[in-house]
């Protein structure tokens, strides 16, 4: 309990039962209205810790600590004299005496009682539900118990429920090294948020990650062994699913038992009945807010934004201000298992006479649907796989967008696609639905309250402090308003660093900084120093250090010491992760030239390890289907045969493609194969902001497609023409001619300069094509710097490249010769000799393919889906 100011008999008392996200927001609303100075405020919290961010609960499994998730500033609690009792919930309420009894036996008198008891996980009443190995997914304590059991007693986990938390739970189990299954009674995943099309796109993407999904089936029984521990599940279709652990995430129910026991009115399906002021209909001295409340519109709201609105309404009513809660926006945006999923407005098109605009790309896992009224009004929508436009589209809901709906769902660069920015929004558009903050309010925070950063605007308006889905739009609006006012905008890499990637490159280079932690502690933002960094800056800095390794004295091997923790999955295992959890191995074949003996070696390795082989678009041979523990064994044989890593997994040079050139072709005018090999061997392993591709064509017929590459070379009768800034992919761009009729030495010198200038000045994950269009002066500036040395840095750029070439080492060879590095190549840390059971194959065309059959998704009326969901 915290200290409290001295209270008198006349001091009115507010007792808050429950201290979750909504309860904490209620306390803040009381403080904002000065009620903490005029009232005694008592909080009875059931959990052993004060309010924390339950929306971000799953981030615990990606490195966040319970302290990181905390939403409670104890200084705030103390300053406002709030009496906070942790681990001591209310057990009874005497409404006639206006008293609450806590579990500890202490009795608190109240003038106003606010119930924020939240909800409890629904566990289907099936036999075996209480067996050892059964868990729910609701609190930090639940997660701690799941983590401990998964590490010691489980290899296969099943999640009952394919909604928001169910998918997060399945991802958490997979992250803990378990084979993961999802069992959903409805015919699709996330049945409340997405429609059949969105569910199908989500299903495909999730199955490609190696999770098994079972839709349209319920759980009939939890199977147990003789000692009462989980061994599997019996499903409603008669099938059985083997599992060592079951996590129930089949929805929640309002926690209204305390209200029932004291005679408050509750709804037929649960929830404490309240009026528009969030006051209970049975007792004017008792309020209910959040997931335990049945609002006046007959709905129990399970999202944090409506809960915050109810907290504000209750606090305002207690302060005798006018306020009401008559309903809330149910829009939501999440990243589930790395997949963007969003829905907003009338997502399912329930309005009369509405129309749908749909874009679907099943290969890419994209599904976008807008619901449009006959008059052109945007009513709602669903986005799966790409929710970049969520903030803008949601803000336009209820109005007629300034462009056609069709143009808003097409991907960038496709047809008549239009990318509307936040600047197109009207001032009255709601940007943050959690706290009902409009664009005009955000602009006012900058212009009227002199806020110059997103954190300052958050503090001023509360925008972005709820679910966080509006933060990107918030940042764009703040920057646009600052720039319009002539104020310099913070363009730091992330919340950890105030510098751009280019500036961090210069700092690392000049000060010879060799570790991420040293850079963060010396040059990070003050509030980030001593911390762990974030997912934005860690790989970016890792790439910078790797690029400069020979010059600054750092290890050039990406899995040495701290560098290993900065890498993503592919770099971490020096191989590309595939859809079924296996990996592909791509040895370097410079210029696409390969001797018969080496072809035989690749064939023998593929045969002996049962790998699928394919010629790639970059003139290499890719071998798919290797389990993680097989990778070093495969590399050892490849290295013995003279192969090395092709860096298909890295943000680095991939390939230098070539035609056969003048050696064989009657049109060739230069030896394109030799040049391609020279370039590939020179730039192999060069870490950069994004992947690099190249090609050399032996004549103007351009068989190697050099003009679609980051740097491409085309032979002429007088030498070589150098093209830069091209790329294929979703938004192809033709490369621009940088210089022409170059000798071999001139060509290599200009490529050296171009690549090092790009690495030095590009932003993170920025291809050369995007960089060339963004950098001030564009191609002309790059030509001035690289060809004419206008900045006087070309000697330095060339020296950096020479250092890279001189210190190159093959990462595969480095790994297989180091027992400590080899130890990381296991499927399960707690069972290193156990292969991943998810990695399975079936034959196809004399080879094999992943055994991941797609499940069909049935069609049922919406009413049936909702009824089925309630029976899970």
Handedness of CA 577, 167, 494, 73 (dihedral sign): negative
Give, in words, the CATH class of 571-806.
Answer: alpha beta
Task: Give the C-alpha distances (Å, rounded to integers) separating 625 from 264, 812, 838.
Answer: 60, 18, 12
Query: CA–CA separation, 289 vs 279, rounded Å?
Result: 9
Contact 405, 372 (CB under 8 A): yes
User: 432 or 47, which is more confident?
Assistant: 47
Among residues 289, 263, 256, 280, which one has the least CA distance to residue 96? Answer: 263
Contact 812, 645 (CB under 8 A): yes
How many residues appear in the chain?
872
Mean predicted lDDT score pLDDT of the chain: 86
Tokens of 462: 């509360």
- Going through 362-501 in order, the beta strands assigned E by DSSP cover 366-372, 378-384, 430-432, 437-438
User: 596 or 332, which is more confident?
Assistant: 596
pLDDT at 558 over 70: yes
- Which of the given ranges, 8-12, 385-389, 785-789, has the highest pLDDT on average? 785-789
User: 1 or 554, which is more confident?
Assistant: 554
Query: CA–CA separation, 864 vs 739, rounded Å?
Result: 66
Whole-number pLDDT of residue 872: 27
User: 484 or 784, which is more confident?
Assistant: 784
pLDDT, one tens digit per residue, over 28-58 is 999 999 999 999 999 999 999 999 988 888 8
pLDDT, one tens digit per residue, over 397-410 is 888 887 777 777 77
Q: Do domains 134-248 and 333-420 have the same CATH topology?
A: no
Contact 587, 605 (CB under 8 A): no
Contacts of 251 by beta carbon, 8 Å cutoff, 6+ apart: 121, 122, 161, 163, 869, 870, 872
Contacts of 456 by beta carbon, 8 Å cutoff, 6+ apart: 445
Q: Which neighbouring-strand residues pair with 645?
A: 587
pLDDT, one tens digit per residue, over 188-211 is 888 878 888 888 888 888 887 788
pLDDT at 802 over 80: yes
The predicted model gives 687-691 an average pLDDT of 93
pLDDT, one tens digit per residue, over 612-658 is 999 988 889 999 999 889 999 999 999 999 999 999 988 999 999 99
Contacts of 19 by beta carbon, 8 Å cutoff, 6+ apart: 43, 44, 45, 47, 50, 51, 72, 84, 86, 116
Contact 159, 273 (CB under 8 A): no
3-state secondary structure at position 332: strand
**DSSP codes of every residue in 146-214:** HHHHHHHH-SEEEEE--SHHHHHHHHHHHHTT-EEEEEESSSSSSTTT--HHHHHHHHHHHHHTT-EEE
CATH 3.30.460.80 is the classification of domain 333-420: no
Contact 222, 128 (CB under 8 A): yes
Contact 670, 715 (CB under 8 A): yes
Chain center to CA of 94: 47
Whole-number pLDDT of residue 749: 96
Domain 134-248: give its CATH architecture.
3-Layer(bba) Sandwich (3.50)
Q: Which neighbouring-strand residues pair with 719?
A: 716
**DSSP codes of every residue in 632-688:** HHHHHHHHHTT--B--TTSSBEEEEEE--GGGT-TT--S-HHHHHHHHHHHHTT-B-
Among residues 282, 311, 296, 385, which one has the least CA distance to residue 21? Answer: 311
Whole-number pLDDT of residue 864: 32
Query: CA–CA separation, 50 vs 36, rounded Å?
Result: 18
777: confidence class by pLDDT, cuts 50, 70, 90:
confident
pLDDT at 575 over 60: yes
Whole-number pLDDT of residue 833: 66
449: confidence class by pLDDT, cuts 50, 70, 90:
confident
Q: In which residue are the tokens 């069972």 written?
A: 831
Contact 319, 287 (CB under 8 A): no
Query: CA–CA separation, 370 vs 527, rounded Å?
Result: 41
694: confidence class by pLDDT, cuts 50, 70, 90:
very high
Tokens of 57: 């609960």
pLDDT at 6 over 90: no
Whole-number pLDDT of residue 530: 84
**Which of 120-129, 395-404, 582-591 bottoms out in mean pLDDT, i.e. has the lowest?**
395-404
Contacts of 44 by beta carbon, 8 Å cutoff, 6+ apart: 15, 16, 17, 18, 19, 85, 88, 89, 90, 100, 102, 108
Tokens of 625: 């289907």
Tokens of 325: 């809660």
Task: Indicate the domain borders of the chain.
Answer: 13-120+254-318, 134-248, 333-420, 501-567, 571-806
Whole-number pLDDT of residue 176: 85
Element (H, E) at 24: helix 21-32
Whole-number pLDDT of residue 857: 29
By DSSP bridging, strand 339-345 and strand 355-361 are: unpaired
The predicted model gives 728-750 an average pLDDT of 88
Rounded to 5°, angle at Cα 818 from 814 and 820: 130
Query: CA–CA separation, 384 vs 373, rounded Å?
Result: 22
Fold classified for 13-120+254-318: FAD/NAD(P)-binding domain (3.50.50)
- List phi, psi (to 5°) of 682: -75, -40
pLDDT above 70 covers what percent of the chain? 91
pLDDT above 90 covers what percent of the chain? 50
Tokens of 790: 């206008």
pLDDT at 414 over 60: no
pLDDT at 677 over 50: yes
The predicted model gives 130-154 an average pLDDT of 92
The predicted model gives 657-680 an average pLDDT of 92
Whole-number pLDDT of residue 716: 92
Handedness of CA 384, 389, 395, 397 (dihedral sign): negative
Global pTM exceeds 0.85:
no
Whole-number pLDDT of residue 4: 43
pLDDT at 856 over 50: no
pLDDT, one tens digit per residue, over 357-380 is 888 877 677 888 899 998 889 999
852: confidence class by pLDDT, cuts 50, 70, 90:
low
- Going through 588-628 in order, the beta strands assigned E by DSSP cover 612-615, 621-626
Q: Which neighbouring-strand residues pair with 716?
A: 719
Among residues 303, 306, 323, 302, which one has the least CA distance to residue 314? Answer: 323
Over the Cα atoms of the chain, what is R_g?
A: 30
Q: Which neighbouring-strand residues pair with 577?
A: 583
567: confidence class by pLDDT, cuts 50, 70, 90:
confident
């Amino acid at each position: 309990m915290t200290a409290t100011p001295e209270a008198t008999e006349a001091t009115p008392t507010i007792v808050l039962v429950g201290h979750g996200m909504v309860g904490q927001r209620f306390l803040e609303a009381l403080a904002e209205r000065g009620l903490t100075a005029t009232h005694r405020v008592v909080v009875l919290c059931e959990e052993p810790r004060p309010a924390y961010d339950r929306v971000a609960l799953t981030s615990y499994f990606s490195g966040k600590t319970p302290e990181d998730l905390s939403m409670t500033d104890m200084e705030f609690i103390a300053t406002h004299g709030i009496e906070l009792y942790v681990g001591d919930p209310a057990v009874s309420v005497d409404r006639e005496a206006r008293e609450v009894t806590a579990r500890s036996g202490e009795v608190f008198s109240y003038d106003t009682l606010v119930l924020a008891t939240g909800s409890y996980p629904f566990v289907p009443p099936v036999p075996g539900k209480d067996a050892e190995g059964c868990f729910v997914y609701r609190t930090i304590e639940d997660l701690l118990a799941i983590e401990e059991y998964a590490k010691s007693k489980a290899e296969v986990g099943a999640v009952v429920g394919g909604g928001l938390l169910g998918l997060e739970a399945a991802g958490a189990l997979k992250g803990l090294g378990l084979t993961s299954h999802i069992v959903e009674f409805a015919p699709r995943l996330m049945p409340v948020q997405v429609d059949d099309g969105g569910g199908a796109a989500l299903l495909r993407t999730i199955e490609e990650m190696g999770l098994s999904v079972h839709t349209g089936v319920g759980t009939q029984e939890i199977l147990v062994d003789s000692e009462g521990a989980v061994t599997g599940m019996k499903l409603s279709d008669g099938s059985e699913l083997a599992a060592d652990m079951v996590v129930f995430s089949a929805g929640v129910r309002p926690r209204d038992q305390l209200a029932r026991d004291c005679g408050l009115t509750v709804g037929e399906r649960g929830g404490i009945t309240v009026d528009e002021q969030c006051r209970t209909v049975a007792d004017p001295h008792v309020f209910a807010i959040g997931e335990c409340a049945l609002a006046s519109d007959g709905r129990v709201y399970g999202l944090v934004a409506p809960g915050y609105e109810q907290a504000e309404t209750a606090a305002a009513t207690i302060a005798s201000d006018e306020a009401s809660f008559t309903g809330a926006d149910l829009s939501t945006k999440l990243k589930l298992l790395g997949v963007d999923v969003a829905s907003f407005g009338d997502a399912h098109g329930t309005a009369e006479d509405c129309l749908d605009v749909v874009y679907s790309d099943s290969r890419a896992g994209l599904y976008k649907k807008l619901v449009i009224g006959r008059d052109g009004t945007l009513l709602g929508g669903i986005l799966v796989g790409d929710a970049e436009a969520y903030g803008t589209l949601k803000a336009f809901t209820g109005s007629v967008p300034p462009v056609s709906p069709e143009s808003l769902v097409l991907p960038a660069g496709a047809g008549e696609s239009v990318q509307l920015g936040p600047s197109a929004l009207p001032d009255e558009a709601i940007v943050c639905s959690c706290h009902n903050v409009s664009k005009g309010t955000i602009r006012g925070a900058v212009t009227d309250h002199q806020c110059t950063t997103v954190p300052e605007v958050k503090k001023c308006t509360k925008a972005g402090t709820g679910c966080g889905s509006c933060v990107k739009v918030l940042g764009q609006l703040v920057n646009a308003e600052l720039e319009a006012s002539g104020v310099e905008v913070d363009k730091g890499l992330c919340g950890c660093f105030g510098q751009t990637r280019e500036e961090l490159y210069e700092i690392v280079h000049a000060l010879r900084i060799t570790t991420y932690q040293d850079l963060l502690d010396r040059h990070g933002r003050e509030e980030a120093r001593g911390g762990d960094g974030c997912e934005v800056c860690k790989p970016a800095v890792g790439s910078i250090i790797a690029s400069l390794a020979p010059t600054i004295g750092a290890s050039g091997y990406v899995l040495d010491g701290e560098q290993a923790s900065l890498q993503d999955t592919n770099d971490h295992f020096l191989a590309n992760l595939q859809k079924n959890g296996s990996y592909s191995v791509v040895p370097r074949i410079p210029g696409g030239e390969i001797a018969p003996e080496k072809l035989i070696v690749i064939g023998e390795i593929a045969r002996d390890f049962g790998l699928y082989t394919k010629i790639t678009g970059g003139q290499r041979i890719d071998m798919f289907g290797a389990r993680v523990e097989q990778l070093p064994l495969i590399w050892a044989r490849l290295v013995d045969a003279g192969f090395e890593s092709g860096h298909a997994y890295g943000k680095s040079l991939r390939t230098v493609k070539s035609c056969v050139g003048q050696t064989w072709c009657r049109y060739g005018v230069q030896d394109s194969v030799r040049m391609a090999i020279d370039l590939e061997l020179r730039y192999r392993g060069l870490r950069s902001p994004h992947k690099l591709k190249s090609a050399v064509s032996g004549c103007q017929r351009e068989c190697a497609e050099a003009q679609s590459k980051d740097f491409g070379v085309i032979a002429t009768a007088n030498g070589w023409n150098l093209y830069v800034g091209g790329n294929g992919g979703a938004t192809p761009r033709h490369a621009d001619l940088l210089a022409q009729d170059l000798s071999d030495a001139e060509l290599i010198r200009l490529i050296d300069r171009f690549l090092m200038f790009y690495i030095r000045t590009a932003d993170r994950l920025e291809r050369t094509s995007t960089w060339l269009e963004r950098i001030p002066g564009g191609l002309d500036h790059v030509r001035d710097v690289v060809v004419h040395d206008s900045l006087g840095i070309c000697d330095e750029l060339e020296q950096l490249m020479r250092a890279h070439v001189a210190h190159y080492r093959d990462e595969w060879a480095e790994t297989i010769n180091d027992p400590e590095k080899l130890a990381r190549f296991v499927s399960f840390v707690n069972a290193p000799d156990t292969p991943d059971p998810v990695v399975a194959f079936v034959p196809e065309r004399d080879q094999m393919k992943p055994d991941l059959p797609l499940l069909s998704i049935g069609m049922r009326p919406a009413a049936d889906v909702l009824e089925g969901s309630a029976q899970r």
